[in-house]
Chains A and B, each alone.
Chain A
Amino acid sequence: MSARILLPAIFALLLSTQPVRAEVLVVIAHPDSPIGTLSREQATHLFLGRVKLLPSGARVKVVEVEPLRETFYRQLVRREIAEINAYWARLKFSGRTQPPHRVPDAAAAMALVASDPSAIAFVEGGSLDARARVLFRLDP
C-alpha cells in the first residue's frame, strides 16, 4: 500500500473520535413517571442542568451512564465530551449547580430508574426492558 493512501488513513484514524458502531440511545424513565415524553430541547435543558423541573412541576433527577456519555452528548448537542466536562466544571465551581449522578453501566441505570420515579437516564435501545419506558429517542 502506498504512502499516499496510508498517511491519510493514519491521520484520519488519529483524528477520529467517532465510535466504530453507531448506537441508538434512548432517554428513559420509570413506567410510572409523570413525564410523558421529552423534546430534544427539554432533554438538552435537563441534561445540561439548566432546569430541574418540568412544566408539569415534576422534579427530575438526571443520571448519566459512564460509557455512553461521549456518544450521548455528541448526538444530543453535537459537542465533544471534553466540552461537556469543561461546561460542568464551570457550572459546579461557580456555584450554579452540581453535575448529574453518574452510574457505571446501563444495568445500573436501569436499576436506578426502576427504583426512582424521578430519575431519567440514557441507555442503548437494546438495554431497555419493562422496568423503564422511552421518553426520547436519539437517532445517531
Chain B
Amino acid sequence: MRSVLAAIAATTLLAGGALAADDAARAQPQTPPQWTVGGFGTLGAVWHQEDDTQFRRSVDQRRGARANELDFGVDSALGLQVHGVLTPQWSVTAQAVMNQGRHGEWGPHLVWGFVKYLPNDWSEIRVGRLVTDIFIDGDSRHVGYAYTTVRPYTDVYGRLTYDGFDGIDASVQRPLGDGVLRFKVFGGRTRGSVYLNQNEHPMNLGRTFGATLDWIGPELSFKLSWGRMVTTRNDTNGDLRSALGDVAAMGAALNLPQLAAQASARAGEITASNRVGYLGAALAWERGPFSLQLMGTDMSMTAFPGFEGWGAGLTAAYRFGRWKPYVTYSRSVIDPNERRLDLPLERLPDLAVLSQVWGGLHDYTRHDQYTIGAGVRYDVTENVALKLQVDRIEAKRSSSLLDDKGFVPGMAAGPAGPFVEDASARSLTLFSASLDFVF
C-alpha cells in the first residue's frame, strides 16, 4: 500500500513534466507506426466517524474505509496506457490500472487491451479486453480526472463491477440533426466479480452482451443502453439446494407434505444460471458554465432468489474559471424476489441454521441506499484537479457498506419470515479529498 501511494505521489509530480514532453512529441509531424504512453491516477483520501461501518466505492473492493481512519485505499488508483497507431485503419491499445482489488491486493489488472479497426469514418470494430459502457461515462469510471465528482455514483456504478469482458464491440455512427448518432453492440466473456457477504462471486465463466445508442449534440446528449451478463456455471448455492432436498425428504418421511412440497419447489428453483440485466437511460446537458447529468437504470438478477432493482443519479455543476462546485444525488434499491420457506422450527429446531442461511441469502444483495453530496473541483493545472466533497449516505440496507459481518443487512430473519426490518440501518457523513491527474 505504501509503495502504491509513493508511486502515485511520484507520478503526480512527474505528470507536469511528462505532459510537457508529450506536448513536444505531439508537436512533431508523425507518421505511423506511432506509439504514445499516457496515464492517469488518483490520490484519494476518505474519512468518516460511523462505528462498525466500512465505506467502499464498489462491491469489488474487499475492504472499505473504517471509522476515524484516514483511508487512501477506496479512491486511489494509478493507470497506464500504451497506444499504437499501426496504420490509419489499425491501432492497438493496452491499459492497466492499479487500485484496491477484490482480494485487497494492489496488483495491476488489464482493463483495456484491444485491436481497433476503422474501415471508414462511420464505423469501428474493437477486439480484445473491453469495457461495457452501459452507464454514461461508465467506460472511464477509473479515471477520476475525467469526471466532475470524486467518484461515480457509488449507489449505481458501485453495483456494476463485472463490466469488463474479452470479446468484440462494433459501432456505427452518422450525423443526425446538429449532433452525431452512434449505435454500438458488444459481446464476449465476462470478467470480474463481486465481494458480498464475505464471499467472492466470480463472473468469469459468463458471457456479456448488449447495445447502446448515443446521440451527442452541441449541448444535449442522451444515451440508451441495454446489457446482459449471463453465466450457467454459478452454482454457489448448490449446497443449499442439497440441504433443501434433504428437508424435502425429511418432510415426506415425517408426513409433512406441505414442508416437503415447499422445500422441493425451492430446491428446484436453485439453478446454476444467473442472468444480470441492465436497462439504462442517461441525459447530459451543458450550456456555458452550467452542466447537468441525469441517469437511471433498471437492474435484475436471476441468481437465487432473484433480485429486481433500480438506480438513479443526478449531478448539477457550475464552472467559473478553475472552480467547479457541484451537487449530486443518487439512490439505488434492490429487492429480492420473495421465496417463502415456512420451516416448522418448533417441531424441528435443527432447521434453525437453514432458516438463518435462508434469511442471509435474501439479505446480502438487498440494497436501499441514497447519497446526497456537495463538492468542488479545482483544476490546479491542465492535467491536475483537486476535489473536495462531502456526502451524506443513508442506507436502510446496504450491500456497498460493510460491517464486521461483511455487509450491512438492514433486514433479518424473524418469526414471520425473512423480511422483518431490524435496526441495522446506517447513515454516515463521508469526507473525501482527491488529487486526480493525467499524464
B23 within 8 A of A: yes
- In the assembled complex, how far is the CB of residue B136 from the closest CB belonging to chain A, in whole angstroms? 10
Closest to A87 in B: B146
- In the assembled complex, how far is the CB of residue A61 from the closest CB belonging to chain B, in whole angstroms? 9
Q: Are A101 and B30 in contact (CB under 8 A)?
A: yes
Residues of A within 8 A of B (CB): 15-17, 41, 44-45, 50-53, 57, 59, 66, 77-83, 85-87, 89-90, 92-95, 98, 101-104, 108, 112, 115-116
B383 within 8 A of A: yes
Q: Can you name 30 A-B pairs with beta carbons within 8 Å?
A: A41-B178, A41-B218, A45-B175, A50-B173, A50-B180, A51-B121, A51-B175, A59-B121, A77-B218, A82-B379, A83-B319, A85-B379, A85-B382, A85-B438, A86-B146, A86-B147, A87-B146, A89-B140, A89-B146, A89-B438, A90-B146, A92-B38, A93-B38, A93-B81, A94-B133, A95-B114, A95-B130, A95-B131, A95-B139, A101-B30
B165 within 8 A of A: no
Q: Are B23 and A102 in contact (CB under 8 A)?
A: yes
Closest to B79 in A: A93
Q: Are A94 and B218 in contact (CB under 8 A)?
A: no
B2 within 8 A of A: no
B257 within 8 A of A: no
- In the assembled complex, how far is the CB of residue B439 from the closest CB belonging to chain A, in whole angstroms? 10
- With the chains together, A45 CA to B181 CA distance in Å? 12
Interface residues on B, range: 35 or more
B405 within 8 A of A: no
Q: Within 8 Å CB of B289, what residues of A?
A: 80
Q: Are A102 and B180 in contact (CB under 8 A)?
A: no
Q: Within 8 Å CB of A79, what residues of B?
A: 286, 288
15 more A-B contacts (CB under 8 A) besides A45-B175, A94-B139?
A16-B321, A50-B180, A80-B319, A82-B379, A82-B382, A85-B438, A89-B40, A89-B145, A90-B147, A93-B38, A93-B143, A95-B114, A98-B36, A98-B85, A101-B26
Task: Indicate whether A112 sits within 8 Å of B23 (C-beta atoms), given known contacts A89-B40, A95-B114.
Answer: no
- In the assembled complex, how far is the CB of residue A59 from the closest CB belonging to chain B, in whole angstroms? 7
Q: Are B319 and A82 in contact (CB under 8 A)?
A: yes
- Residues 28-47 (chain B) with a chain A CB within 8 angstroms: 29-30, 36, 38, 40
Q: Are A51 and B180 in contact (CB under 8 A)?
A: yes
Chain B 212-246 interface 0/1 with A at a Cβ cutoff of 8 Å (1 = within): 00001010000000000000000000000000000
Q: Are B26 and A102 in contact (CB under 8 A)?
A: yes
- In the assembled complex, how far is the CB of residue A5 from the closest CB belonging to chain B, in whole angstroms? 21
A-B CB proximity, top 4 nearest: A53-B121, A90-B146, A82-B379, A94-B139
- In the assembled complex, how far is the CB of residue B191 from the closest CB belonging to chain A, in whole angstroms? 15
- With the chains together, A53 CA to B139 CA distance in Å? 25
Q: Within 8 Å CB of B423, what residues of A?
A: none
- Residues 307-330 (chain B) with a chain A CB within 8 angstroms: 319-322, 324
- With the chains together, A3 CA to B26 CA distance in Å? 48
Q: Are A85 and B319 in contact (CB under 8 A)?
A: no
Q: Are A115 and B29 in contact (CB under 8 A)?
A: yes
- Residues 286-316 (chain B) with a chain A CB within 8 angstroms: 286-289, 291
Closest to B180 in A: A50
Q: Within 8 Å CB of B392, what residues of A?
A: none
- With the chains together, A83 CA to B286 CA distance in Å? 10
Closest to B130 in A: A95
Q: Within 8 Å CB of B26, what residues of A?
A: 101-103
- With the chains together, A79 CA to B288 CA distance in Å? 6
Q: Are A116 and B286 in contact (CB under 8 A)?
A: no
Q: Are B218 and A80 in contact (CB under 8 A)?
A: no
